[in-house]
Structure 1
Amino acid sequence: MMDAIDLFAGLGGNSEGARMAGVNVVWAANHWQAAVEIHAANHPGAAHVCQDLHQADWARVPAHDLLMASPACQGHTHARGKERPHHDVTRSTAWAVVSAAEYHRPAFVMVENVPEFARWALYPAWCAAMSALGYALAPMILDAADCGVPQHRRRLFIVGTRSKHPIELQIQPRQHVPAASFVDFRTGKWTPINRPGRSARTLARVAAGRARFGRRFLAPYYGSGSGETGRCLDRPIGTITTRDRWSVIDGDQMRMLTAGECRAAMAFPDGYVLPEDRRLAIHMLGNAVPPPMTAAVITELRRAA
């Protein structure tokens, strides 16, 4: 049995993906207590720590074969607009991976982030540091939809192996799963589309989507993602984000996706525990890694290693 640790574990997408791939997660850490509590509820067999990982005492972390990490992506992604002062702080979280790897020297390292991570000014230095520790790095960009997740979500995975050359992973795309697989028209809080106060831009998006897709479809509530035309239910949904983004249209009524639907769109199991507060649940899901992506990477890593 391969043992793993999970840095910046969040809701637990990497840990759940590792479990799907037959890997035992022995330790998980995050700086946010609410996330640690939810992770512990879903992965009670792992030891949990809530702390700034820059301050971690790696001597107290169990031995492991695989180090998994999803450093903060907010400093790299453009999803939230222009630069902000905290970005340099969030970018620096990636150095905790180097620190942990230096102490434990596990056989494998897997880092997940947004594709923009590779355009970070210090990315070459980060790669050089990992190389100095003996790791050959194999970066790849995956779309969650190609891993069987009913959502398009492009992410960078960097696999490090203690080998002379980078390992070659060949992850075969799976058949896409449509959004119809998780949208339940019998649930949620529906409201009339033409209610007082509804934004004219929202009404225009709904009208455009109705003309193209009929009575039932999805639409980006804030005008991003699928532009002004919405998205049919026969294809994967666009990226699930940390705040309400997607509305469901059914005739003359509409609603936002439920937390349960977002969980399914991220391909977490139906019974996976979420925060009771819906807004907090949506936030954690939007920050998470779809488990099948991690499972696909680990499965192929174990086959190729």
Structure 2
Amino acid sequence: MSAARLKQKKLSKRKVYAVDLFCGAGGLTHGLVNSGIDVKLGVDIDPACSYPYTSNNKAKFELKSVEELQESDIRENFRKNGINLLAGCAPCQTFSTYNRKADQNDERWWLLLQFSRLVRETTPELVTMENVPELIKQEVFNNFVKELQDIGYFVCYQIVNCAEYGLPQQRRRLVLLASKIGEIQLLQPDDFEITHKTVREAIGELPPINAGEIYDMDPLHQSSSLSDKNLKRIQASRPGGTWRDWEDELIAECHKKGTGKSYPSVYGRMVWDDPAPTMTTQFFGFGNGRFGHPEQDRAISLREGAILQTFPKEYKFVPPGEPIAIKTIGRLIGNAVPVKLGEIIGLSIRVHLKNYEMQIKKTKKRKIKRIKSGGSMIGE
């Protein structure tokens, strides 16, 4: 890994095969593949995911609702003699802090139960899930964990800040790992030789562009246009500052009200030497958060957002020559599991398997030693 190199830890060479539910544009899949896991299939209901998923990964893509997915759809992509992993990140907007109230009438609420159903039906050796931290407070998550434990999984989960793992983004996520093999843990930042990465290090070398401009050599390096007023606003903004720094005539009426004064993070510029804020599905809009470029008078481009999500610079999202729908591609990028986080999850799995292998070897050695010394093997 470039941003977070593992300290001296041995990785299992056993082959792990995976199916990625809610695969999106392939962030989690790409990270798992980088860690040495063979992802066979990605499943998503969004047709816009098909091209980026299959063009950047060797896995198949199935356009299908997880609710319609059957046990056989998954089993045919698992291997009888391999270690099998069912992975996924159910749509998280209904649990997000951006949602004032988690709504149980939102059908996305229950997709986690479909994930649970598929785990129960296919019984893979390993399961992983990534989601927003707020999910941990919901009964549907507690039920998910309990069911995993009831059917024989060792489960661990924790909330992580991606920046602590060397990602150029302050992104807090809930990561769950489960194993039928034995106790499993997510690798911690101390397990890596961390190089904390900043906005400057991530996107500082990209060619400058203006608001509304598309860079000829990379159509994804394009920025949304700005109204005259928003252009004046970003010109009046400083990195790390807020709209409270502006002259009164530039401040939106909603922010002048008592209820709007508590939202200082919109209409902001990023800071070069800090990690970026959390990439959302609206990161391409200057007024949607602290998504202003640190020094250019524009919001960050689609490519810059993808890089901050740790997609490789050459990651393809649209077929060559086809027009780019900013809202669609922005949604795919903002919804993605950061590639490097997917890689950390995959490495955690491979270290887990190696630890299990070492434990088995030690047990066998003790048995052989006991036999040679004439000791009893009762209870071993």
Q: Same fold (TM over 0.5)?
A: yes
Q: For 1:52-79, what per-residue CA distance to the aligned partner results, in whole angstroms no more than 9, with x for missing partners?
A: 1111112132215111110110111122
Match of 1:167 in 2: 184
Matched, 1:22 2:36: yes
- Within 5 Å, give how 1:20-99 maps onto structure 2: 20-43=34-57, 45-61=58-74, 62-63=77-78, 65-83=84-102, 87=106, 89-99=107-117
**Separation in 2 of the partners of 1:83 and 1:203?**
37
Q: Which structure shows the higher strand fraction?
A: 1
Question: Structure 1 residue 31: deviation in Å?
Answer: 0.8
Match of 1:8 in 2: 22
Q: Secondary structure at the match of 1:247?
A: coil
**Separation in 1 of the partners of 2:140 and 2:238?**
43
Cα RMSD of the aligned pairs, angstroms, is 2.8
Match of 2:197 in 1: 177
Which structure 2 segments of 5+ residues have no match?
Answer: 1-14, 213-225, 243-254, 256-261, 319-323, 354-380
Question: Structure 1 residue 201: deviation in Å?
Answer: 6.5
**Separation in 2 of the partners of 1:208 and 1:103?**
49
Match of 1:128 in 2: 146
Match of 1:197 in 2: 229
Match of 1:217 in 2: none
- Between 1:223-232 and 1:119-128, the stretch displaced more is 223-232
**Separation in 2 of the partners of 1:185 and 1:106?**
42
Question: Structure 1 residue 288: deviation in Å?
Answer: 0.4
**2:20–2:39 Cα contact (<8 Å) kept:** yes
Match of 1:291 in 2: 339
- Between 1:197-206 and 1:284-293, the stretch displaced more is 197-206
Match of 1:113 in 2: 131
Matched, 1:103 2:124: no
Question: Structure 1 residue 197: deviation in Å?
Answer: 2.4
Q: TM-score, normalised by structure 1?
A: 0.84
**Separation in 1 of the partners of 2:238 and 2:210?**
17
**2:198–2:274 Cα contact (<8 Å) kept:** yes
Question: Structure 1 residue 281: deviation in Å?
Answer: 1.5
Question: Structure 1 residue 139: deviation in Å?
Answer: 0.2
Amino acid at match of 2:127: V
Question: Structure 1 residue 82: deviation in Å?
Answer: 4.3
- Between 1:166-175 and 1:95-104, the stretch displaced more is 166-175
Match of 1:273 in 2: 316
Question: Structure 1 residue 242: deviation in Å?
Answer: 0.3
Matched, 1:235 2:267: no
**Separation in 2 of the partners of 1:290 and 1:107?**
24
Matched, 1:188 2:209: yes
**Separation in 2 of the partners of 1:249 and 1:157?**
30
Percent identity over paired residues: 21
- Between 1:291-300 and 1:8-17, the stretch displaced more is 291-300
Q: For 1:235-269, what per-residue CA distance to the aligned partner results, in whole angstroms no more than 9, with x for missing partners?
A: 1111111012411143xx50111111111111111
**Separation in 1 of the partners of 2:150 and 2:162?**
31
**Separation in 1 of the partners of 2:160 and 2:267?**
26
Amino acid at match of 1:241: T
Cα distance change on mapping 1:206 and 1:81 into 2, 3 Å: farther
Question: Structure 1 residue 86: deviation in Å?
Answer: 5.3
**1:137–1:161 Cα contact (<8 Å) kept:** yes
Which structure 1 segments of 5+ residues have no match?
Answer: 211-221
- Within 5 Å, give how 1:210-225 maps onto structure 2: none
Mark the structure with the bigger radius of gyration.
2
**Separation in 2 of the partners of 1:10 and 1:183?**
27
Q: For 1:13-62, what per-residue CA distance to the aligned partner results, in whole angstroms no more than 9, with x for missing partners?
A: 1100111101111011001111133212222x322211111111121322
Q: Secondary structure at the match of 1:256?
A: coil
**2:95–2:135 Cα contact (<8 Å) kept:** yes
**1:29–1:36 Cα contact (<8 Å) kept:** no
Amino acid at match of 1:176: H
